[in-house]
Amino acid sequence: MKPIQVGLLGIGTVGSGVFNVLQRNQTEITRRAGRGIEIAMVADLDTERARTVVGEGVRVVADARAVIANPDIDIVIELIGGYGIARQLVMEAIEAGKHVVTANKALLAVHGTEIFAAAHRRGVMVAFEAAVAGGIPIIKALREGLTANRIEWIAGIINGTTNFILSEMRDKGLDFEAVLKEAQRLGYAEADPTFDIEGVDAAHKATIMSAIAFGIPVQFDKAHVEGITKLGAQDIRYAEQLGYRIKLLGIAKRRDSGVELRVHPCLVPARRLIANVEGAMNAVMVQGDAVGTTLYYGKGAGSEPTASAVIADLVDVTRLHTADAAHRVPHLAFQPDSLSDQPVLSMSEVVTSYYLRLRVADQAGVLAQVTGLLAGAGISIDAILQREAGEGENQTDLIILTHDVREGTMDEVLAQVQALPTVVAPIVRIRKEELA
């Protein structure tokens, strides 16, 4: 049989990986897919660079629409990124009856509903394993491997840049700014690292996973997004002393009243496997009611790890594109006509526990004042760490770990605590998840 014909839009880091891995493992991949997979056409504005990657045997064009218009092309891979032209091209490819494979998490987290609806109407597949956690087959695990389960929650380290920075801050006791510079020098952070360090990238991925886990639409605009730029080295140290690590987690959690969808730094017990995921690695924990806890670990970015996911999608499409559309795996795990209307909860409705660091006057009665206010709101305390004031100091750090409480309640109490004359600096608060 003639190899399935693939058109590639954008041949940068990931695109080159896709081309190279497909070439290198051609025999093995064909033995699995039952049919060859051939990149027949590549579109990139930089046609010269594209030509360097693919050599002479592949048609290279500057105009992506020439790929979409080519009737011989069965599958279009979109690796351009962003919401702009990528969105138009994906929609046009779908309308042209092409199956689409994409690594574009931003696009799907924001415009996924429109894209999947169009694909459903047109009877084509949109596959996106590479959009979340790079080479880890987490989309497949959630969508197919855990279908028996009522998913309770997902918590993932899904941004390698921030995990690298947090690992280095802990290892070397350095501040955020210093480590960021180092990460940029090593290529772990981009020149403009905003999307990574502010949590936006992780929130795109958490949004996609929340849809697959709970059968809700993708709704990035409802996600709470918080990065790691304000984390202090001392909080990482205090957390360590209390038996915790600080990780940037993407969390999606089912509650009776709706779904929590949030990205923020988080204390995690040091004995959990996920707390020991270091450097630029990714890991996702999934809690299902039947299976219990599962965890998926691997490289979340990079040329060939991401290519691994893109090609897995190509093989899936090759294996399944002849099946009638109604019997394929639904894009977001649930059949499109049976999505849930569970709302995404506001942060004041979120229930979690907290790490609080208070700078307090070193005088009798402060602890009683603070814990009294917490107790008054029904917030119970899990652990307290009080440093002795240094010689000549009249202030000290008071660290409190709480049990679970509604965030709205915590907001109110912390306003009262902050107003105490003995609390002499802004309170630092970091959420904590036991992940048990």
Binding residues for NADP(+): 9-16
How near is the Cβ of 155 to its own copies at its closest, in Å? 14
Considering only 3, 12, 13, 25, the residue that binds its own copies (CB under 8 A) is: 25
Q: How far apart are CB 72 and its own copies at their closest, in Å?
A: 20
Q: Which is nearer to its own copies, 309 or 379 (CB)?
A: 309
Q: Cβ closer to its own copies: 238 or 297?
A: 297
**3 state SS for the chain:** CCCEEEEEECCCHHHHHHHHHHHHCHHHHHHHHCCCEEEEEEECCCHHHHHHHHCCCCEEECCHHHHHHCCCCCEEEECCCCCCHHHHHHHHHHHCCCEEEECCHHHHHHHHHHHHHHHHHHCCCEECHHHCCCCCCHHHHHHHHCCCCCEEEEEEECCHHHHHHHHHHHHHCCCHHHHHHHHHHHCCCCCCCHHHHCCHHHHHHHHHHHHHHHCCCCCHHHCEECCCCCCCHHHHHHHHHCCEEEEEEEEEEEECCEEEEEEEEEEEECCCHHHHCCCCEEEEEEEECCCEEEEEEEECCCHHHHHHHHHHHHHHHHHHCCCCHHHCCCCCCCCHHHCCCCCECCHHHCEEEEEEEEEEECCCCHHHHHHHHHHHCCCCEEEEEECCCCCCCCEEEEEEEECCEEHHHHHHHHHHHHHCCCECCCCEEEEECCCC
Q: Closest CB to its own copies among 22 and 119?
A: 22
> Which residue in the set 192, 256, 326, 391 belongs to the binding site for its own copies (CB under 8 A)?
326
Binding residues for its own copies, rule CB under 8 A, total: 66
The residue within the footprint of its own copies, chosen from 256, 322, 341, 419 (CB under 8 A), is: 322
What six digits make up the tokens of 274?
């996920």
Q: Which is nearer to its own copies, 227 or 300 (CB)?
A: 300
CB of 138 to its own copies, least distance (A): 9
**Bind-site residues:** 9-16, 105, 190
Q: Does the protein bind its own copies through residue 36 (CB under 8 A)?
A: no
Q: According to CB under 8 A, which one of 319, 365, 390, 394 is a site residue for its own copies?
A: 319
Q: Which of 98, 205, 222, 299 is catalytic?
A: 205
Q: Which of 308, 352, 396, 402 binds its own copies (CB under 8 A)?
A: 308
Q: Is 299 in the site for its own copies (CB under 8 A)?
A: yes
Annotated binding site for L-homoserine: 190
- Which one among 61, 66, 91, 295 touches its own copies, defined by CB under 8 A? 295
User: Does the footprint of its own copies cover residue 338 (CB under 8 A)?
Assistant: yes
> Smaller CB distance to its own copies: residue 210 or 352?
210
Q: Do residues 225 and 200 make contact, with C-beta atoms less than 8 angstroms apart?
A: yes
State the DSSP string of 168-204. HHHHH---HHHHHHHHHHHTSS-SS-HHHHTTHHHHH
**Under the criterion CB under 8 A, does residue 144 sit at the interface with its own copies?**
yes
The answer to whether residue 156 forms part of the interface with its own copies (CB under 8 A) is no
Closer CB to its own copies, 22 or 413, in the complex = 22
3 binds its own copies (CB under 8 A): no
- Span near its own copies by CB under 8 A; candidates 65-73, 192-200, 243-251, 321-329: 321-329
Q: 3-state class of 349 per DSSP?
A: helix
For the chain, what percentages of helix, strand and coil (3-state, to nearest 5) are there? 40, 25, 35
CA angle 156, 410, 398 (to 5 degrees): 90
- Annotation says 205 is catalytic: yes
With CB under 8 A as the contact rule, the residue among 123, 145, 232, 269 that binds its own copies is 145
Interface with its own copies (CB under 8 A), residue from 177, 256, 327, 364: 327
Q: Which residues are annotated as a binding site for NADPH?
A: 105
Q: What are phi and psi of 406, to 5 degrees?
A: -70, 135
Q: Is 140 in the site for its own copies (CB under 8 A)?
A: yes
- According to the binding rule CB under 8 A, does residue 373 interact with its own copies? no
Per CB under 8 A, the list member of 72, 192, 221, 324 interacting with its own copies is: 324
258 binds its own copies (CB under 8 A): no
Rule CB under 8 A: which of 201-220 touch its own copies? 215
Q: Where in the sequence numbering do the catalytic residues fall?
A: 205
Which residue ranges make up the site for its own copies (CB under 8 A)? 17, 21-22, 24-25, 28-34, 129, 135-137, 140-141, 144-150, 215, 273, 276-277, 288-299, 304-305, 307-312, 315-316, 319-324, 326-330, 333-335, 338
